[in-house]
């Protein structure tokens, strides 16, 4: 399954999620941001590639739906606020807590 993580600037939340899940069997992961200043701004190719999009705020999903037309992948908002720096262990913990019910434990097959 191709999972695309989306936050605002592709600087903290989406990057941490991508790093956490990059070695998870059965998942291919990438990340992007919705802001024009993002490291990688979400584009149509990302949405074509993705089977599942994970956003961290309702505004991210709204931007995707307002910006792109046609069929979109499944979008899940895991509600992790932009309150942390990329190095903050609390960010990794919040992302793990939010994503495990959706994607399973990072680095492990879903059936385990």
The Cα–Cα gap between 34 and 62 comes to 10
How many CB atoms are located within 10 Å of the residue 38 CB?
18
Q: Which residue has the tokens 């792109």?
A: 68
The domain ranges of the chain are 2-103
Q: What is the 3-state secondary structure (H, E, C) of 22-44?
A: CCCCCCEEEEEECCCCCCCECCH
Is pLDDT at 112 greater than 60 in this prediction? no
Give the model confidence (pLDDT) of 92-111 as tens digits: 999 999 999 999 999 998 76
How many CB atoms are located within 10 Å of the residue 97 CB?
11
Rounded to two decimals, what is the model's pTM? Answer: 0.95
**Domain 2-103 listed as CATH 3.20.20.300:** no
The Cα–Cα gap between 23 and 41 comes to 23
């Amino acid at each position: 399954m191709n999972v695309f993580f989306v936050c605002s600037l592709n600087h903290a939340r989406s990057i941490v999620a991508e790093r956490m899940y990059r070695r998870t069997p059965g998942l291919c992961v990438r990340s992007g941001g919705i802001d024009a200043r993002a490291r990688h701004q979400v584009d149509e190719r990302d949405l074509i590639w993705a089977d599942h999009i994970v956003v961290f705020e309702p505004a991210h999903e709204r931007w995707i739906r307002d910006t792109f037309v046609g069929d979109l992948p499944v979008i899940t908002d895991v509600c992790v606020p932009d309150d942390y720096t990329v190095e903050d262990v609390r960010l990794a913990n919040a992302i793990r807590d939010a994503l495990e019910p959706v994607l399973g434990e990072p680095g492990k097959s879903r059936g385990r």
